[in-house]
Structure 1
Amino acid sequence: FEEINDELIYKKDFDIDTIKYAILSKLNPKYLGLSPEVIILEL
């Protein structure tokens, strides 16, 4: 995100692999199988 005029602007045009990598990099590897599946739900 970036801040413009005291307002937070979030990036909306990103690749799902970028998000998956960011999430997986935060998880403990011992809890992951060979090919972890991450599902991101949009509310």
Structure 2
Amino acid sequence: MLLALPVAAGLLTAGVRSRAAWWSAAALVLLAVGGWDLLAVLA
């Protein structure tokens, strides 16, 4: 969740209103968190 805060702040600051941009950013955050968790499990 904390990883999403800088992304959301950046999108808000830039004035991005595109719903697709917000969904893309959310998907990237979820992929990053999922990858991190997977690496933690495999390590």
TM-score relative to the length of structure 2: 0.32
TM-score relative to the length of structure 1: 0.32
Report the structure number with the largest CA radius of gyration. Answer: 1
Q: Which has the higher strand share?
A: 1
Could you say which structure has the greater relative contact order, defined with CA pairs below 8 angstroms and 6 or more residues apart?
2
Q: Which has the higher helix share?
A: 2
